[in-house]
A and B are shown apart, each in its own frame.
Chain A
């Protein structure tokens, strides 16, 4: 990078650290405050491993979350982070990505955050096909508010806010994302961390909007969809010869629920340009918008005034 410093850092020079990414590089200094056994530990570990294995440097990664148990994740990983408002990780991440399109931007959050209060942004971010990765830690319950029904709670589920059983149909994020314009649509399970690492690496490397919906059991408030419940049902698409370029098959497998629940890459397309690719403003060789020189040339200023005469 040859862009000059505008203001010198005020902080003292930190101790020199090797610029080689190691297994511990992404380790945060704070231990997560999740409940023991929470599925989110597995997602955090998988994400750290995926970033390490991809050789990405922490200062080039921005992890953006909303609000909820899982949205605390940016505080537990050594990369740039933003812990934003409930449901707003995607628009914040969109702004940050367009401001600096050289960053690897990863959004994380829960099902209530992404499919409930943030659903409008979810739909529109997908159709824009920005190069973002969105990891939804889907526990089918509101955890941080102590156990209310969520957009992915199954019909009939009894929670503190649905004591007689939920009468609403849940959102199925997989088909929704496939028809919504996401170009990499996958599901993982916290009980299958190695598989999740591969899915996340694929998502991060994918040039376009990727959704990874992760069954990340809430051990405290969801007594229905537990590890024990998931374990015998989970089937890995990659082991079943699923073709992620087959749209109809992707939809069909996405709807599958019950005795067999598939995880893995449902759908991927690589022939759709990203928003960044379609915006000439990002391709004039000046690097990220955020680091460009401010102000206009005399010619530009003159042309603007001429319009008013």
Chain B
């Protein structure tokens, strides 16, 4: 049970060091053992604009950015003007008293003007550090942890910079002690420190845990974090990392590496994924395993590059021409991304098909705390029916395979899985073709098309997905069996829906349960139907305009949901958006609720 649950919001323009300030705070909270969630609302601009970073921490579970800010740190007037009006009684606002005008806050909001020029000795960029010092003091945290993380952050810039920033942090801390009223609670210190991880880091580390040896990408927000992590760790971990000329090249390179026997991976966003589509079909056709992560952002076209959306479901479902087997999964959190990537690699190796991960800006760029013990790098690795060189084959018909048909790369088996040799293995020569082909790889597309063989090969590939469905955990209901409504979500909304459901039960006495969907393809239609047909009211919550999942659910099951909660303004759901919409729908006021975001960031 949570005893404290607070959030710090830092607002300013890009270039004011907001992300690094947030990182300092997150690290301090995590080292105290607190759970946290950090979300940075920012814009596609290198300098200027408006950025607002929320770091929420608690000694209970933190499943979303939450609904409130307890400490507001506006670094410019714009942030003050946008956010002050949302501050509620009991909260405080820390700001440069010489530069910013607060306006009139709600009753009970503590205004905390700080003489920043004096505290920072004129270093404008250090105002956030002074405010951090004050924040910690008011949360009952000693100043020493801030000094430690400052030393860590500025180590590369030299002792002088560290000393200067530590001095500013102390000055802010002392000033708050003398002038401001601390919070009635103290941020507790728990015995077990937490780690902090962004979804992009978790994705990259999941790849490493899976044994990825080849990673390629073209930079594209919000997926670029995976590339940067991979590039900076490549040489230590023995990974070939390439930045490629475009996403068409990325996917084709990943296919080449995957075909050679590497575990190969890439990440992109919707626009890059669109360019990859044809090649993903080839991976399915030549039966090459690979993992591709689509970190969704608001589309279409360039869309809103720094804003979140769950708008690529149908793109991913429909990517590439023709029918082909592939696995599509939408992890729910940073930790789930880390765990899902190795699991997906095992499935893709086993079923020799592409795997697609639907992440989004919210979880991929967002930061969460994780218990370090949960970051397991020694999970099971199952490469399926892979044939690598064994050193003895030199004497056993090394040039055979293709000419003697002793080895059939695309052998028609009961499971649809054919033993997969990689180039370089003696005795297993074959050609992998994106054209339709026979069991031995010979084309049946041009000179001698053959309808019965074509049918056989289509069915062989498709059969693999029957096995895959049995390997994947079906979705389960979360919460009480008997509920007024069932909230269905997919991927990243799991946390915020859970929090909303808990609050509905606690604050409003409304009992709802939750059905989080993670595996999109193969889809457990029967299990989902069994659950939903027992529900009193099914409400689908998703971060897009047209109800992409609602339509998919109907396509796969024939089930039409009773209500919908949708958001497509670029910002993620906050718990109260869902709570208010559920109440609205239970009262029969709406079938589709579109909660609005209260602040423009």
Distance of A120 Cα from B237 Cα, bound (Å): 30
Q: Is B17 an interface residue (CB 8 A)?
A: no
Select A289's contact among B214, B402, B430, beta carbons within 8 Å: B214
Distance of A124 Cα from B246 Cα, bound (Å): 10
Q: Is B429 an interface residue (CB 8 A)?
A: yes
Q: Which range contains the number of A residues in contact with the other chain?
A: 35 or more
Distance of A99 Cα from B233 Cα, bound (Å): 18
Distance of A33 Cα from B240 Cα, bound (Å): 38
Sample (26) of A-B pairs whose CB atoms are under 8 Å apart: A1-B389, A7-B387, A9-B428, A10-B385, A14-B401, A14-B404, A14-B427, A17-B399, A33-B447, A60-B424, A63-B431, A74-B433, A75-B443, A78-B399, A79-B429, A80-B424, A80-B429, A91-B248, A95-B255, A98-B240, A98-B253, A99-B240, A99-B264, A289-B262, A290-B422, A308-B372
Verify A10–B242 contact, CB threshold 8 A.
Answer: no
Verify A294–B279 contact, CB threshold 8 A.
Answer: no
Distance of A63 Cα from B264 Cα, bound (Å): 20
Within 8 A of B (CB), among A62-117: 62-64, 67, 72, 74-75, 78-85, 88, 91-100, 102-103
Distance of A246 Cα from B179 Cα, bound (Å): 78
Distance of A99 Cα from B210 Cα, bound (Å): 16
Nearest A residue to B253 by beta-carbon distance? A95
Distance of A59 Cα from B401 Cα, bound (Å): 10
Verify A81–B430 contact, CB threshold 8 A.
Answer: yes
Verify A82–B286 contact, CB threshold 8 A.
Answer: yes
Distance of A48 Cα from B384 Cα, bound (Å): 34
Contact surface of A with B, Cβ cutoff 8 Å: 1-17, 19, 21, 25, 27-30, 33, 57-60, 62-64, 67, 72, 74-75, 78-85, 88, 91-100, 102-103, 120-121, 123-124, 279-282, 284, 286, 288-292, 294-296, 298, 300-301, 303-305, 308-309
Verify B430–A80 contact, CB threshold 8 A.
Answer: yes
Q: How far is the CB of A281 from chain B (nearest CB, A)?
A: 5
Q: How far is the CB of A256 from chain B (nearest CB, A)?
A: 30
On chain B, the number of residues with a Cβ less than 8 Å from chain A's Cβ atoms is 98
Contact surface of B with A, Cβ cutoff 8 Å: 30-31, 193, 195-197, 201, 205, 208-211, 213-214, 216, 233-240, 242, 244-246, 248-250, 252-264, 278-279, 282, 286, 370, 372, 375, 377-378, 381, 383-391, 394-404, 406-408, 411, 419, 421-435, 441-443, 446-447
Question: Which chain A residues lie closer than 8 Å to B201 at the CB level?
Answer: 308
What 9 pairs across the A-B complex have the smallest Cβ distances? A95-B256, A294-B211, A14-B406, A99-B260, A81-B431, A290-B261, A308-B195, A91-B252, A301-B377
Select B427's contact among A59, A88, A284, A296, beta carbons within 8 Å: A59
Q: How far is the CB of A276 from chain B (nearest CB, A)?
A: 10
Residue from B193, B385, B399, B406 having most chain A Cβ neighbours under 10 A: B399
Select A281's contact among B234, B396, B421, B426, beta carbons within 8 Å: B234
Distance of A135 Cα from B499 Cα, bound (Å): 60
Check A309/B193 contact, CB under 8 A, given A124-B245, A289-B240, A291-B389: yes
Distance of A94 Cα from B384 Cα, bound (Å): 25
Select B429's contact among A3, A59, A304, beta carbons within 8 Å: A59
Check A9/B419 contact, CB under 8 A, given A60-B424, A75-B431: yes
Question: Which chain A residues lie closer than 8 Å to B384 at the CB level?
Answer: 7
Verify B402–A92 contact, CB threshold 8 A.
Answer: no
Q: How far is the CB of A163 from chain B (nearest CB, A)?
A: 27
Distance of A141 Cα from B381 Cα, bound (Å): 48
Verify A82–B259 contact, CB threshold 8 A.
Answer: yes
Question: Which chain B residues lie closer than 8 Å to A305 at the CB level?
Answer: 195, 372, 375
Verify A29–B400 contact, CB threshold 8 A.
Answer: no
Distance of A82 Cα from B257 Cα, bound (Å): 12
Q: In the complex, given contacts A120-B249, A121-B245, A309-B30, what are 10 additional A-B residue pairs having Cβ atoms less than 8 angstroms apart?
A: A1-B391, A6-B383, A59-B423, A99-B260, A100-B261, A100-B424, A281-B234, A290-B261, A294-B383, A304-B375
Distance of A2 Cα from B385 Cα, bound (Å): 20
Verify B377–A304 contact, CB threshold 8 A.
Answer: yes
Nearest A residue to B216 by beta-carbon distance? A95
Select B391's contact among A3, A13, A59, A94, beta carbons within 8 Å: A3
Verify A9–B421 contact, CB threshold 8 A.
Answer: yes
Verify B260–A281 contact, CB threshold 8 A.
Answer: no
Verify A304–B205 contact, CB threshold 8 A.
Answer: yes
Residue from A13, A74, A99, A279 having most chain B Cβ neighbours under 10 A: A99
Distance of A110 Cα from B404 Cα, bound (Å): 29
Check A100/B260 contact, CB under 8 A, given A5-B387, A9-B421, A83-B443: yes
Check A290/B260 contact, CB under 8 A, given A9-B428, A19-B395, A88-B248: yes
Check A12/B406 contact, CB under 8 A, given A62-B423, A92-B252: yes
Distance of A254 Cα from B121 Cα, bound (Å): 66
Q: How far is the CB of A34 from chain B (nearest CB, A)?
A: 10
